[in-house]
Structure 1
Amino acid sequence: MAEEKGFTSSYAQDSDAVGTAEPYGSTWQRLKARARVPVSESSYAPGDLKWSNKDLDPIPLEFQTWRTYNFVTYWISDAFAVSNWRIGSSLIAIGLSWKLALVAVVIGNLVTAFIVTYNGVIGARLHIPFPVQARSAFGFYFAYVMVIFRVIISVFWYGIGTYTGAECIQSMLFAIWPRFRNVPNHLPESANITTGFMISYFIYWVVVLPFHYIPHHQLHWFFTFKAIVSPIAGFAIIGWIVHSTGGGNAVFAYGNQLHGPKLGWAFMSGVNAMIGNFATLGVNMNDFARYSKKPNSPYVQLIIIPIVFIIMMLFGIIGANGSRILYGEVLWDPLLIINHWTSRGGRAAAFFCALAFLIASIAINISANSISVAVDLTTLFPKYLNLRRAQYICAILGAWAMTPWNILASAESLLTFMDGYSIWLAPISGILISDYWIVHRQRVSVPEMYRPHGIYAYEKYGTNWRAAVAFVIGFVPLLPGFAKAVTSSINVSEGASNLYSLGYFYGFIVSSGLYVLLSKIWPPKSQYTGFTIDESLNEVASDF
Structure 2
Amino acid sequence: MAKKPFRVHGVSNSLWNEDLAPIAREDRTWGAYQFGSLWVAMSVCIPTYMLASGLIAAGMSWKQALGTILLGNVIVLIPMILNAHAGAKYGIPFPVYVRASFGVLGANVPAVLRALVACGWFGIQCWIGGLAIFSMVKVVAPGIAGDAVWYCFAAFWLLNMLVVVRGIETIKAIQAVGAPFMLIVGLALLFWMVGRAGGFGVVLASAAEFQPAAGAATPNFWKLFVPSLTGIVGFWATVALNIPDFTRYARSQKAQMVGQALGLPPAMTLYSFIGIAVTAATVIVTPNHKAIWNPIDLIASFHQPVIAMIGLVALLLATLNTNVAANVVSPSNDFSNLKPSLISFKMGGLITGVLGVLCMPWRLAADPDRYINGWLVGYSGLLGPIAGVMIVDYFIVRRRSLDVEGLYVRGGQYEYVGGFNLKAIAALVAGVVVALVGLFVAPLHWLYEYAWFVGFGVAGGVYLLLMSGPTERAVNPPTPLLIPVRGFGGEGA
The alignment's TM-score, normalised by the length of structure 1, stands at: 0.80
Match of 1:334 among 270, 295, 302: 295
Bigger CA drift: 252-261 or 232-241?
Answer: 252-261
In the alignment, the residues of structure 2 paired with residue 323 and residue 273 of structure 1 have an alpha-carbon distance, to the nearest angstrom, of 27
2:129 paired residue number:
165
2:184 paired residue number:
232
2:483 paired residue number:
none
In the alignment, the residues of structure 1 paired with residue 180 and residue 9 of structure 2 have an alpha-carbon distance, to the nearest angstrom, of 39
What's the offset of the Cα at 1:404?
Answer: 0.5
What's the offset of the Cα at 1:167?
Answer: 1.9
What's the offset of the Cα at 1:504?
Answer: 1.2
Letter paired with 2:161: L
What's the offset of the Cα at 1:261?
Answer: 6.1
1:250 paired residue number:
205
In the alignment, the residues of structure 1 paired with residue 225 and residue 279 of structure 2 have an alpha-carbon distance, to the nearest angstrom, of 17
Say whether 1:267 aligns with 2:225: yes
Residues 203 and 122 of structure 1: CA distance in aligned 2, closer, same or farther (over 3 Å): same
- The 8 Å contact of residues 265 and 501 in structure 1, kept in 2 or not, is answered as no
What secondary structure sits across from 2:328 in the alignment? Answer: helix
Letter paired with 1:352: I
The Cα offsets for residues 7-42 of structure 1, whole Å up to 9 and x where unpaired, read as xxxxxxxxxxxxxxxxxxxxxxxxxxxxxxxxxxx9
Bigger CA drift: 80-89 or 231-240?
Answer: 231-240
2:479 paired residue number:
none
Match of 1:91 among 55, 58, 61: 55
1:152 paired residue number:
116
1:317 paired residue number:
276
The residue correspondences of 1:248-397 to structure 2 (distance < 5 A) are 248-254=203-209, 256-257=211-212, 258-259=216-217, 262-300=220-258, 301-324=260-283, 326=286, 327-341=288-302, 345-397=303-355
2:421 paired residue number:
464
In the alignment, the residues of structure 1 paired with residue 368 and residue 449 of structure 2 have an alpha-carbon distance, to the nearest angstrom, of 16
What's the offset of the Cα at 1:519?
Answer: 2.6
Equivalences, count: 466
What's the offset of the Cα at 1:127?
Answer: 0.6
Residues 286 and 45 of structure 1: CA distance in aligned 2, closer, same or farther (over 3 Å): farther
In the alignment, the residues of structure 2 paired with residue 426 and residue 405 of structure 1 have an alpha-carbon distance, to the nearest angstrom, of 25
The Cα offsets for residues 29-72 of structure 1, whole Å up to 9 and x where unpaired, read as xxxxxxxxxxxxx967644x323212111012453221221111
Say whether 1:75 aligns with 2:30: no
In the alignment, the residues of structure 2 paired with residue 452 and residue 128 of structure 1 have an alpha-carbon distance, to the nearest angstrom, of 17
Bigger CA drift: 256-265 or 360-369?
Answer: 256-265
What secondary structure sits across from 2:468 in the alignment? Answer: helix
What's the offset of the Cα at 1:302?
Answer: 2.4
Match of 1:499 among 447, 450, 460: 447
Match of 1:479 among 436, 456, 464: 436
Say whether 1:513 aligns with 2:472: no
- The 8 Å contact of residues 435 and 450 in structure 2, kept in 1 or not, is answered as no
Residues 331 and 248 of structure 1: CA distance in aligned 2, closer, same or farther (over 3 Å): closer
What secondary structure sits across from 1:150 in the alignment? Answer: helix
In the alignment, the residues of structure 2 paired with residue 516 and residue 321 of structure 1 have an alpha-carbon distance, to the nearest angstrom, of 49
In the alignment, the residues of structure 2 paired with residue 330 and residue 438 of structure 1 have an alpha-carbon distance, to the nearest angstrom, of 50
- The 8 Å contact of residues 122 and 353 in structure 2, kept in 1 or not, is answered as yes
What's the offset of the Cα at 1:475?
Answer: 1.4
- The 8 Å contact of residues 436 and 447 in structure 2, kept in 1 or not, is answered as no
In the alignment, the residues of structure 1 paired with residue 104 and residue 396 of structure 2 have an alpha-carbon distance, to the nearest angstrom, of 20
Say whether 1:418 aligns with 2:376: yes
In the alignment, the residues of structure 1 paired with residue 387 and residue 314 of structure 2 have an alpha-carbon distance, to the nearest angstrom, of 32
Relative contact order higher in (CA < 8 Å, ≥ 6 apart): 2
Letter paired with 1:395: G
- The 8 Å contact of residues 15 and 337 in structure 2, kept in 1 or not, is answered as yes
- The 8 Å contact of residues 252 and 318 in structure 1, kept in 2 or not, is answered as yes
The residue correspondences of 1:171-182 to structure 2 (distance < 5 A) are 171-180=135-144
In the alignment, the residues of structure 2 paired with residue 221 and residue 102 of structure 1 have an alpha-carbon distance, to the nearest angstrom, of 31
What's the offset of the Cα at 1:472?
Answer: 1.6
2:78 paired residue number:
114
- The 8 Å contact of residues 164 and 324 in structure 2, kept in 1 or not, is answered as yes
What's the offset of the Cα at 1:217?
Answer: 4.1
1:532 paired residue number:
none
What's the offset of the Cα at 1:126?
Answer: 0.9
What's the offset of the Cα at 1:161?
Answer: 1.2
Unaligned runs of 5+ in 1: 6-41, 186-194, 484-491, 527-535, 540-544
What secondary structure sits across from 2:143 in the alignment? Answer: helix
Match of 2:98 among 110, 134, 141: 134
In the alignment, the residues of structure 1 paired with residue 35 and residue 9 of structure 2 have an alpha-carbon distance, to the nearest angstrom, of 28
In the alignment, the residues of structure 2 paired with residue 196 and residue 297 of structure 1 have an alpha-carbon distance, to the nearest angstrom, of 45
In the alignment, the residues of structure 1 paired with residue 70 and residue 314 of structure 2 have an alpha-carbon distance, to the nearest angstrom, of 26
The residue correspondences of 1:442-461 to structure 2 (distance < 5 A) are 442-458=400-416, 460-461=417-418
What's the offset of the Cα at 1:118?
Answer: 1.4
2:484 paired residue number:
none
- The 8 Å contact of residues 40 and 179 in structure 2, kept in 1 or not, is answered as yes
The Cα offsets for residues 499-525 of structure 1, whole Å up to 9 and x where unpaired, read as 211111111222223322333355676
Residues 410 and 361 of structure 1: CA distance in aligned 2, closer, same or farther (over 3 Å): same
Match of 1:538 among 486, 489, 493: 489
What's the offset of the Cα at 1:259?
Answer: 4.6
Letter paired with 1:430: G
Residues 44 and 426 of structure 1: CA distance in aligned 2, closer, same or farther (over 3 Å): farther
1:38 paired residue number:
none
In the alignment, the residues of structure 2 paired with residue 261 and residue 456 of structure 1 have an alpha-carbon distance, to the nearest angstrom, of 51
What's the offset of the Cα at 1:538?
Answer: 3.5
1:205 paired residue number:
157
The alignment's TM-score, normalised by the length of structure 2, stands at: 0.88
Unaligned runs of 5+ in 2: 475-486
